[in-house]
Structure 1
Amino acid sequence: MAEAKIKIKNLYKIFGNKPDQIMPLVRQGVSKQELLDEHKHVLGLSDINIDIPAKRIHVIMGLSGSGKSTLIRHINRLIEP
Protein backbone atom coordinates (compact mmCIF):
# COMPACT_ATOMS: atom_id res chain seq x y z
CA MET A 1 0.00 0.00 0.00
CA ALA A 2 1.21 3.51 -0.81
CA GLU A 3 2.36 5.88 1.90
CA ALA A 4 -0.49 7.76 3.54
CA LYS A 5 -1.06 11.33 2.36
CA ILE A 6 -3.59 11.97 5.13
CA LYS A 7 -3.16 10.32 8.53
CA ILE A 8 -5.65 10.61 11.35
CA LYS A 9 -4.78 9.09 14.71
CA ASN A 10 -6.98 8.99 17.82
CA LEU A 11 -9.34 11.76 16.69
CA TYR A 12 -12.15 12.73 19.06
CA LYS A 13 -14.69 15.52 18.72
CA ILE A 14 -16.86 16.50 21.67
CA PHE A 15 -19.41 19.25 21.17
CA GLY A 16 -20.18 21.33 24.26
CA ASN A 17 -18.80 24.00 26.57
CA LYS A 18 -16.09 21.95 28.33
CA PRO A 19 -14.87 19.13 26.05
CA ASP A 20 -11.53 18.85 27.89
CA GLN A 21 -13.35 18.02 31.13
CA ILE A 22 -15.57 15.46 29.38
CA MET A 23 -12.72 13.60 27.64
CA PRO A 24 -11.84 11.43 30.67
CA LEU A 25 -15.47 10.29 30.85
CA VAL A 26 -15.40 9.34 27.17
CA ARG A 27 -12.24 7.31 27.70
CA GLN A 28 -13.89 5.56 30.67
CA GLY A 29 -16.69 4.42 28.36
CA VAL A 30 -19.56 6.68 29.45
CA SER A 31 -22.41 6.30 26.95
CA LYS A 32 -23.31 8.97 24.40
CA GLN A 33 -26.74 9.25 25.99
CA GLU A 34 -25.28 9.84 29.46
CA LEU A 35 -22.91 12.49 28.07
CA LEU A 36 -25.91 14.29 26.61
CA ASP A 37 -28.37 13.82 29.49
CA GLU A 38 -26.06 14.45 32.44
CA HIS A 39 -23.27 16.60 31.00
CA LYS A 40 -24.92 18.38 28.03
CA HIS A 41 -22.16 17.34 25.62
CA VAL A 42 -22.35 15.36 22.37
CA LEU A 43 -19.72 12.88 21.23
CA GLY A 44 -19.30 13.51 17.49
CA LEU A 45 -16.23 11.36 16.78
CA SER A 46 -14.63 8.69 18.92
CA ASP A 47 -11.07 7.41 18.43
CA ILE A 48 -10.93 7.71 14.63
CA ASN A 49 -7.82 6.22 12.99
CA ILE A 50 -7.40 6.19 9.20
CA ASP A 51 -4.63 6.44 6.62
CA ILE A 52 -5.57 7.76 3.18
CA PRO A 53 -2.96 7.32 0.43
CA ALA A 54 -2.51 9.82 -2.41
CA LYS A 55 -4.27 9.29 -5.74
CA ARG A 56 -6.97 7.06 -4.28
CA ILE A 57 -10.70 7.49 -3.95
CA HIS A 58 -12.25 6.74 -0.57
CA VAL A 59 -15.88 6.71 0.45
CA ILE A 60 -17.12 7.58 3.91
CA MET A 61 -20.43 5.83 4.52
CA GLY A 62 -22.68 5.67 7.53
CA LEU A 63 -26.08 6.35 8.94
CA SER A 64 -27.48 9.81 9.43
CA GLY A 65 -25.85 11.40 12.46
CA SER A 66 -22.90 9.00 12.54
CA GLY A 67 -20.22 11.70 12.14
CA LYS A 68 -19.41 11.60 8.41
CA SER A 69 -19.67 15.36 7.90
CA THR A 70 -17.81 16.05 11.14
CA LEU A 71 -14.94 13.83 9.95
CA ILE A 72 -14.78 15.56 6.55
CA ARG A 73 -14.81 18.97 8.24
CA HIS A 74 -11.78 17.90 10.29
CA ILE A 75 -9.95 16.69 7.19
CA ASN A 76 -10.48 19.97 5.33
CA ARG A 77 -9.88 21.96 8.56
CA LEU A 78 -13.27 23.65 8.76
CA ILE A 79 -13.20 22.24 12.30
CA GLU A 80 -9.87 22.26 14.13
CA PRO A 81 -9.05 19.00 15.93
Structure 2
Amino acid sequence: MINKAEPLIQIRDLYKVFGKNPEQALKQVKSGVDKEHLLQDSGHTLALQAINLEIFAGEVFVIMGLSGSGKSTLIRHFNRLIEPTSGSAVYRGERCHTAV
Protein backbone atom coordinates (compact mmCIF):
# COMPACT_ATOMS: atom_id res chain seq x y z
CA MET A 1 0.00 0.00 0.00
CA ILE A 2 1.23 3.49 -0.83
CA ASN A 3 1.52 5.94 2.05
CA LYS A 4 0.23 9.21 0.56
CA ALA A 5 1.92 11.19 3.35
CA GLU A 6 5.34 10.03 2.13
CA PRO A 7 6.73 11.05 -1.27
CA LEU A 8 6.63 8.39 -3.97
CA ILE A 9 9.83 9.83 -5.50
CA GLN A 10 12.40 12.00 -3.71
CA ILE A 11 15.38 13.61 -5.41
CA ARG A 12 17.98 15.14 -3.09
CA ASP A 13 20.84 17.43 -4.16
CA LEU A 14 21.16 15.67 -7.52
CA TYR A 15 24.03 16.58 -9.86
CA LYS A 16 24.88 15.02 -13.21
CA VAL A 17 28.12 15.83 -15.02
CA PHE A 18 29.03 14.13 -18.30
CA GLY A 19 32.68 13.69 -19.26
CA LYS A 20 35.83 11.66 -18.56
CA ASN A 21 36.25 12.71 -14.90
CA PRO A 22 32.85 13.86 -13.60
CA GLU A 23 33.85 13.73 -9.93
CA GLN A 24 36.68 16.21 -10.50
CA ALA A 25 34.44 18.44 -12.61
CA LEU A 26 31.81 18.33 -9.87
CA LYS A 27 34.33 19.79 -7.43
CA GLN A 28 34.76 22.72 -9.81
CA VAL A 29 30.99 23.21 -10.07
CA LYS A 30 30.57 23.16 -6.29
CA SER A 31 33.36 25.74 -5.99
CA GLY A 32 31.46 28.10 -8.27
CA VAL A 33 32.49 27.32 -11.86
CA ASP A 34 29.49 27.82 -14.16
CA LYS A 35 28.28 25.49 -16.91
CA GLU A 36 29.91 27.37 -19.79
CA HIS A 37 33.34 27.68 -18.14
CA LEU A 38 33.24 24.05 -17.06
CA LEU A 39 32.73 22.98 -20.67
CA GLN A 40 35.44 25.36 -21.97
CA ASP A 41 38.02 24.46 -19.32
CA SER A 42 37.49 20.72 -18.89
CA GLY A 43 35.26 19.45 -21.69
CA HIS A 44 32.66 18.32 -19.13
CA THR A 45 28.96 19.06 -19.45
CA LEU A 46 26.95 20.05 -16.38
CA ALA A 47 23.52 18.51 -17.03
CA LEU A 48 21.86 18.83 -13.59
CA GLN A 49 22.79 20.99 -10.63
CA ALA A 50 21.44 20.68 -7.07
CA ILE A 51 18.01 19.28 -8.01
CA ASN A 52 15.60 18.68 -5.12
CA LEU A 53 12.01 17.53 -5.54
CA GLU A 54 9.29 15.32 -4.11
CA ILE A 55 6.50 13.66 -6.06
CA PHE A 56 3.56 12.21 -4.13
CA ALA A 57 1.25 9.36 -5.21
CA GLY A 58 -1.67 10.66 -7.24
CA GLU A 59 -0.01 14.01 -7.82
CA VAL A 60 0.32 15.51 -11.28
CA PHE A 61 3.91 16.70 -11.58
CA VAL A 62 5.18 18.59 -14.60
CA ILE A 63 8.81 19.10 -15.57
CA MET A 64 9.15 22.08 -17.89
CA GLY A 65 12.11 23.89 -19.36
CA LEU A 66 13.87 25.02 -22.47
CA SER A 67 15.55 22.64 -24.85
CA GLY A 68 18.80 21.43 -23.28
CA SER A 69 17.80 22.34 -19.74
CA GLY A 70 18.04 18.77 -18.36
CA LYS A 71 14.42 17.54 -18.36
CA SER A 72 15.17 14.22 -20.06
CA THR A 73 18.34 13.73 -18.03
CA LEU A 74 16.35 14.15 -14.81
CA ILE A 75 13.68 11.66 -15.90
CA ARG A 76 16.36 9.13 -16.82
CA HIS A 77 17.40 9.19 -13.15
CA PHE A 78 13.84 8.24 -12.14
CA ASN A 79 13.95 5.04 -14.18
CA ARG A 80 17.67 4.41 -13.52
CA LEU A 81 18.83 4.67 -17.10
CA ILE A 82 21.66 6.84 -15.78
CA GLU A 83 23.28 7.25 -12.38
CA PRO A 84 23.86 10.59 -10.65
CA THR A 85 27.32 12.08 -10.24
CA SER A 86 26.22 13.22 -6.79
CA GLY A 87 23.00 13.13 -4.79
CA SER A 88 20.27 10.58 -4.29
CA ALA A 89 17.01 9.28 -5.71
CA VAL A 90 14.53 7.48 -3.46
CA TYR A 91 11.52 5.51 -4.73
CA ARG A 92 8.83 4.44 -2.25
CA GLY A 93 11.21 4.95 0.63
CA GLU A 94 13.99 2.83 -0.87
CA ARG A 95 17.17 4.44 -2.12
CA CYS A 96 17.49 3.77 -5.85
CA HIS A 97 20.92 5.28 -6.15
CA THR A 98 23.27 7.51 -4.26
CA ALA A 99 26.49 9.10 -5.32
CA VAL A 100 28.89 11.33 -3.46
Structure 1 segments unaligned to the other structure (5+ residues):
none
Counterparts of 1:24 and 1:80, CA distance in 2: 17
SS where residue 45 of structure 1 aligns? strand
Partner of 1:32: 35
Counterparts of 1:57 and 1:76, CA distance in 2: 17
SS where residue 4 of structure 1 aligns? coil
Partner of 2:97: none
How big is the alpha-carbon RMSD for the aligned residues of Structure 1 and Structure 2?
1.2
- CA displacement, residues 2-57 of structure 1 (integer Å, 9 cap, x when unaligned): 32110000000000000011111100110111111110000000000001101111
Structure 1 or 2: more helix by fraction: 1
| Counterparts of residues 1-81 of structure 1 (less than 5 Å) | 2-81=5-84
Q: Which residue identity lines up with residue 57 of structure 2 in the other structure?
A: A
Counterparts of 1:58 and 1:26, CA distance in 2: 28
What TM-score comes out, normalization by structure 2 length? 0.77
Counterparts of 2:60 and 2:82, CA distance in 1: 22
- Number of aligned residues: 81
Instruction: Report percent identity of matched pairs.
Output: 57
Runs in 1 of length 4+ with deviation above 6 angstroms?
none
SS where residue 28 of structure 2 aligns? helix
What TM-score comes out, normalization by structure 1 length? 0.94
